[in-house]
Structure 1
Amino acid sequence: MKRIGIDVGGTNTDAVLITGERVLSFIKQPTTADVMTGVVNAIKAVMAADPEPHIAIDAVMIGTTHFTNAVVERARLERAAAVRIAMPASASLPPMVDWPQDLFDAVAPLRFMVEGGHEYDGRPLVPFNREQMFDAAYQIRDAGITSVGITGLFSPLTAEGEAEAAAVIRTVIPDARITLSHTLGRIGLLERENVTMLNAALQGLGASTVDAFRKALVECGITARFYLTQNDGTVVLADVAAANPVYSFASGPTNSMRGAAFLTGRLDGMVVDVGGTTADIGYLQGGFPRQANNVVKVGGVRTLFRMPDLLPIALGGGTIINPETLAIGPRSVGYNLLRDAMVFGGSILTATDIAVAAGLAEIGDRDRVKGLDKALVDGALAGMRKLLEENVDRMKTSAEGTPLLAVGGGAFLIPDELRGCSEVVRVEHAGVANAIGAAMAQVSGEVDQVFSGLDRDAALAEAERLARAQAVAAGAGEETISVIDAEDIPIAYLPGKARRVRLRVVGDIDFGGK
């Protein structure tokens, strides 16, 4: 199958054209202020270099920072309504109480707290108050809001209250876009509510982004289905991704990790993806990124949902080096590297300039940095090595040496030897590993919820059924789906043999309906 993989980063937009396991063509170019223009240019460039133009494109996979950037920049967010079904509990902490004020103001939410929800053992806290819910729905409609996030107390145990609330809202606002918290988050109420509201505020952008990508592909003459990458190293049909844009958070680094696994054939090990602005450190387990099990902040908001365990550090090709103190970053010239770096005629000393001066990379005009003092170059290299070693050590789970897979456009900044690493693995096309990871991605389905009234085997079987259904809806071929990760934890304080089950499946893309 012939695919195009695209990864839009803060500094570069990368694209590859592959068939089977062969890379036919690839391109790395600066990200444009108008992201779509950069995507169109990248697609046209890899297609122009295609040695097999007579074979049609089967699919396009796109990794985008649109949704993360919208949260970080407090821009392009849709006004949303927050409905919490938990009263009389939790009255002292209203929805989004811990959001940064500027982000809260950008979303400008209407907030409602409705009687209902459930206890930790699945019993109703109080009866669901339909009258209150209808009143909230009318207020949401009158305010012109069409995006709603609904969070129920202990809804991962039983989603009954959220389903009732959604039915009421659809009665009043038929075209409402509704996010139900039990489909995204885990038990913690506030963190689950936070990611629900981030998703609700991004759904409008999700729809417009997918539409813009679709138009960009048409402009390039491509009619194949397209997918967006997710933060578990898989892809999902674009229209499905538009409804759950939060799953695209941190998808860029996970694309690189999947690309590293594909390029090296290694399924386990540390991965360092060095871009133009940052280096992301993660760990591969079975060919997929290790998942975070703790609270992850997105744009200053505490969340607890499916996210890769990543450690970003301020080290990239555009990282600014202070020539007097030898401080490494944290500021970067970003996508202005080709203008500001010394090797490109600029006046700002960057990590790329240091690497070129040391003979580690052949980029730009080396003559422009040959006069740099050797002590300055050696000191900067030592600072980068120390920064990498300290942070790689933070991500390790044992004292034993582990292989490190070096990828990204700035991979030349990683030394050939690092303390705590058994080896540093470099591969061809490492600079576009993110786009390769996107192009080679599979489709996933995941369940993370509490089951009660079922024995262990029945609970696992039901979780697998739900995960398989998700994968098929996201574009996987049903016969290719397999379970790659499953765990269950009995919850002793809940009745009815309650247990939390986390189960993930992956499958190959189904091209049959193309």
Structure 2
Amino acid sequence: MSLLIGIDVGGTNTDSVLIDPKKTTESTKRGVLAWNKSTTTADVSDGIESAIDSLFKQVPEVDKSEILAVTIGTTHFINAVIEKDKARLEKVALLRLCGPYSRNSPPFADFPKGLKLILEGYVGLLDGGHYVHGDPVKPINKTEVLTHVEKIKELGLKAVALVGQFSPMVKDHEDEVAAIIAEEIPDVKIVKSYEVAGIGFLERENAAVLNAAILRFAKKVISSFNSAVSRRGLNCPVLLTQNDGTVVSSDVASKIPISTFSSGATNSMRGASFLCRNDESLKDRSVIVVDVGGTTTDVGLLLATGFPRQAATHSYVGGVRMNFSMPHVESIGLGGGTIVRNSNHNEKVTIGPDSVGNEILERSIVCGGDSITVSDVTFAYNQDSDIHFGNFDLVKERFSSCMIEETREGVKRMLETIIDRMRTSPEPLPVLLVGGGSFIVPTELEGASAVHRPPFYSVANAIGAAMSKISGTINLIKVLPAGTISKEDFLKQCIEDAKDIAQKRGALRDSTVVIEMSHDPIPYIADTFQFHVKVVGEVDYSNLKSAFVFEDTSISVESGGQIVKEVGEVIEDFSIDNINLKEYIPTINSNNEWIISEVDLEFFRIGTYILGCGGGGTPHPCFLDIRHLVRNGDTIRIIDMKDIKKYIKGEGTIIPVAFCGSPTVAVEQLKAQELLEATTALSNFTGRQPDLFFPLEIGGGQGFTGFEVGASSRMNIPIVDCDLMGRAYPTLWQTTCNACLDDYSFSPGAVSNSNGNSLIVSEIANNVLFERVVRIALTELGTFVGVISNPLSHRQVEQCAVANSLSLAWRIGRAVIQAKQESDIENLPSRIIDAVGGPQAGKRLMTGKIIDVFRKLHKGYVFGEVLIEEVGSKRQMVIPFKNENIYCKVKNDEEDPGEIVCSVPDLISVIEVDTGEAVGTPDYKYGLMVHVLGFAPSHQWTSTKKAFDIGGPESFEFYGVEYKPVGEYTKPVSVIEEFGKKP
């Protein structure tokens, strides 16, 4: 025989199984020869040895030489981060190779305070990094590097994370600095960010820091896994499960332990899929997996592929945002050990969220304890349960029928609520129950077409570990000069390369299938594409021992040892969830200036991206920058348009400010002083100092541009509550100043990339040509610049600006967060529409799943189409985009030519169903559940033919598109007018 062992080491229990992979089609045994569930030990290696011994005691006839591999899933690493365990985490020295960039967004800016206090050991911002076209921002300065290395040595730090701008594309600078550090500090552990994650500077940096912080503990634990297996007489490789349901060698996992962070939930879902794969009623169907433990219940959606649905665009671990792929799992405080209270029989029963956890065998009533748990109440009405622990007589007739019924209904209601959130359509879905506490789940649930509890459900996580597959992934940015290889042929090459990786890792090449694939163009860089391919394949059991070897010999292969938890200092973090939004009032000072708070910034972050209509760039880096300023005492002032005259002399110098460039670049090349340097250059050229600023466009990250220059530590100048678009458009000339004014020119204007390059466009024939000049300059300046156009007068602002656009973004963001606080996610579309002006101003156009995305590059812009299939029907919506969404066409079937139901200048926003937050066009991907909302545009876009020509479908080269207004524009109510002093 050729056998497999799967072990899942959880915080409460360690589950293990022994499986014969050749007998997995058996209807009852599923190839499971033995299984065991035991309490997790303080010394993880002791627990693994005990688990292995237990398996062999059940089948003494099995020879240990027949074991092909031991696969282990563990939550130890992620728990160390979530629990802020100082004993398992170490301080990290973080070195950014960024030149002048990213300095406005300090490292650890979005870490919870308590975790930051534990992990932040040293921060250095150095020369280095690259632009997207491959040129270096600054060369590595070895003297500068050595200066930082000396400081790291003085502090005694042994973990270093290196993050170079665009290092996933050009690795040289991270490799060069790593070599210098290794020579100076031989025993240091170095994490190079390009080995951990892809494009997205802050998210990759966060992942690299967490990986570095957990590295020594992970190596110790993984080494102890190998040692425990070896001590039990098994001569086979040890594999670890990853977040995506695949496995890697223990050697690879010891270098990138972060890849295993969410393997516990994934193992349960993969195990459920394996246990039910012979059920014809579940084949080719998505199913909901409910994993009930002692303390919590995790719920995820298992796709027809047998792999979990992944989180949308970013994942969070311990409050830290990363661009690491993780399964979309919702958790609630419900488990077998959850405490039930009914102190007064006239009061309603309360369930949890606290639990007796792994002390259930001592503290529950059924086991002779004094804590009433959900298990106790379950056993009280279900004496025939196939789960047997404790003494059922202790709960028999212990509880009133009212208490039993209320507990059952409460458990049912909690589960039905979370199942409803995970469903992808109104149609009921099958529900698979796994986990040791799943006996508490009723056999009938609203939203479930059927409830299945497969055999061996209590150890599904260990089975999922044992039967995991192997993956191969390619992520790269590649220049494909014209006349060489086509992107389609290069994509095929990437697929073969990914299969090579999977085969090298131990997969059967012929079994590999592509589960993720994309090739997206990089704006402003000719013939440059970002490729992503992921394949998975069955394990080649005949090649396991040669494919997986634990190479790290730097750590003794002895017991993992007992590690006493040392929880870090509890520090209260700001959380929007702790703010009573119904009572929150923004601060308006005696001068009628709106003083921006951290709460306001949270609203802006969400609202500006929704107004971005798919474009404008993600606000997240700008949000972190401005939040950092506010937390450090900066003052940001917003004024109402009607108060402009109080701040100007004569007609005034009122400057619209904007960033210009590729959204792909913006998430990697973080801001420097582009806007400040462009403002200075223009002021020096014209001799005019700015009186006021305002964002050229409100959509996305552009909505924060006024704050970037107006903050008290920058230029200390107020920002006007207005913009020149009321949304986001892809070009500078698609602004209301062009639509409403006959005498306005963008020139003189200024452009800066904040790396010693500032340009003045002194005079130019028209604003379209100004745009073209800026775009041409972009290619040479790193494809991301700050742009300051010719200042407007007070009269011009009154004539053309979209009033109260910052107020509108604020109101939209408040509506989304309030819906989350009140658990009213299902009514998010109507809440957002109410914030925009009510049903007369907008409507929900469709709710569905993204089933296809196509992108191409043309003249520096990303053109494409996204296809969305409506929930509960076969209707489909196609949305073409040019950075921003252009129109929505609905088709009832393949033969239907379709009807355009909304188009520019109306605002078309795609909103994620689960969060209510906007999905930008760069983040469109298969499987996302979204709402499509349409809003009426500012009247400036529809009042004249000239305006419509600038902002309508023909401006995007879509001719013959009939414009059907989605609603009637309602001017947003000014926040200052509502909450400020009344005259």
Could you tell me the TM-score, scaled by structure 2's length? 0.50
For the residues of structure 1 that align with 2:528 and 2:432, how far apart are their CA atoms? 41
- 1:423 partnered with 2:442: no
- Corresponding position of 1:335: 358
Task: Confirm or deny: 8 A CA contact 2:495 2:514 kept in the other structure.
Answer: no
For the residues of structure 2 that align with 1:74 and 1:203, how far apart are their CA atoms? 15
Task: Confirm or deny: 8 A CA contact 1:444 1:476 kept in the other structure.
Answer: no
- 1:394 partnered with 2:421: yes
- Corresponding position of 2:255: 243
- 1:60 partnered with 2:61: no
Q: 1:69 aligns with which of 47, 64, 79?
A: 79
Q: Deviations over 1:415-463 (max 9, x none)?
A: 2222222211221111111111111112222234433336422442453
- Corresponding position of 1:105: 117
For the residues of structure 2 that align with 1:48 and 1:2, how far apart are their CA atoms? 15
Matched residue type, 1:347: D
By how many angstroms is 1:142 displaced? 4.5
By how many angstroms is 1:329 displaced? 1.6
- Corresponding position of 2:379: 356
Matched residue type, 1:276: G
For the residues of structure 1 that align with 2:314 and 2:395, how far apart are their CA atoms? 44
Deviates most, 382-391 or 44-53: 44-53
Q: Secondary structure at the match of 2:299?
A: strand
By how many angstroms is 1:132 displaced? 2.1
Q: Deviations over 1:51-110 (max 9, x none)?
A: 532352221111111101211222211232111111311112222122223222222422
- Corresponding position of 2:230: 218
Task: Confirm or deny: 8 A CA contact 2:64 2:233 kept in the other structure.
Answer: no
Decide which structure has the larger Cα Rg and report it. 2
Structure 2's unaligned 5+ residue stretches are: 25-30, 549-983
By how many angstroms is 1:121 displaced? 4.9
Deviates most, 63-72 or 354-363: 354-363
- 1:282 partnered with 2:300: yes
Task: Confirm or deny: 8 A CA contact 2:503 2:509 kept in the other structure.
Answer: no
Cα distance change on mapping 1:119 and 1:322 into 2, 3 Å? farther
Equivalent residues in 2 for 1:317-332, closer than 5 Å: 317-324=336-343, 325-332=348-355
- Corresponding position of 1:117: 129
For the residues of structure 2 that align with 1:103 and 1:458, how far apart are their CA atoms? 46
Cα distance change on mapping 1:77 and 1:492 into 2, 3 Å? closer
Matched residue type, 2:339: I
- 1:409 partnered with 2:432: no
Equivalent residues in 2 for 1:32-431, closer than 5 Å: 32-50=41-59, 52-54=61-63, 56=65, 57-75=67-85, 76-265=88-277, 266=282, 268-285=286-303, 286-324=305-343, 325-359=348-382, 361=385, 362-363=387-388, 364-370=390-396, 371-431=398-458
Cα distance change on mapping 1:402 and 1:448 into 2, 3 Å? farther
Deviates most, 30-39 or 345-354: 30-39
Cα distance change on mapping 1:38 and 1:294 into 2, 3 Å? same
Q: Secondary structure at the match of 2:378?
A: helix
- 1:443 partnered with 2:470: yes
Task: Confirm or deny: 8 A CA contact 1:82 1:110 kept in the other structure.
Answer: yes
Task: Confirm or deny: 8 A CA contact 2:108 2:120 kept in the other structure.
Answer: no
Task: Confirm or deny: 8 A CA contact 1:118 1:125 kept in the other structure.
Answer: yes
User: After TM superposition, what 4+ stretches of structure 1 lie above 6 angstroms from structure 2?
Assistant: none
Deviates most, 245-254 or 90-99: 90-99
- 1:27 partnered with 2:53: no
Structure 1's unaligned 5+ residue stretches are: none
By how many angstroms is 1:388 displaced? 1.1
Q: 1:497 aligns with which of 527, 537, 552?
A: 527
By how many angstroms is 1:219 displaced? 2.8
For the residues of structure 2 that align with 1:167 and 1:333, how far apart are their CA atoms? 50
Q: Which has the higher contact order (CA 8 A, sep 6+)?
A: 1
For the residues of structure 2 that align with 1:111 and 1:354, how far apart are their CA atoms? 53
Q: Secondary structure at the match of 1:305?
A: coil
- Corresponding position of 1:14: 15
For the residues of structure 2 that align with 1:330 and 1:214, how far apart are their CA atoms? 37
Cα distance change on mapping 1:137 and 1:274 into 2, 3 Å? same
For the residues of structure 2 that align with 1:459 and 1:486, how far apart are their CA atoms? 15
Q: Secondary structure at the match of 2:544?
A: coil
For the residues of structure 2 that align with 1:312 and 1:62, how far apart are their CA atoms? 22
Could you tell me the TM-score, scaled by structure 1's length? 0.93
For the residues of structure 2 that align with 1:396 and 1:449, how far apart are their CA atoms? 34
For the residues of structure 2 that align with 1:394 and 1:259, how far apart are their CA atoms? 22
For the residues of structure 2 that align with 1:313 and 1:46, how far apart are their CA atoms? 32
Cα distance change on mapping 1:502 and 1:401 into 2, 3 Å? farther
Q: Secondary structure at the match of 1:289?
A: coil
Matched residue type, 2:462: A
Q: Secondary structure at the match of 1:511?
A: helix
Q: Deviations over 1:470-489 (max 9, x none)?
A: 4355x314635613313215
Percent identical across equivalent pairs? 40
Deviates most, 23-32 or 489-498: 489-498
How many residue pairs get aligned? The number is 513
Q: Secondary structure at the match of 2:178?
A: helix
Task: Confirm or deny: 8 A CA contact 1:87 1:114 kept in the other structure.
Answer: yes
By how many angstroms is 1:146 displaced? 3.4
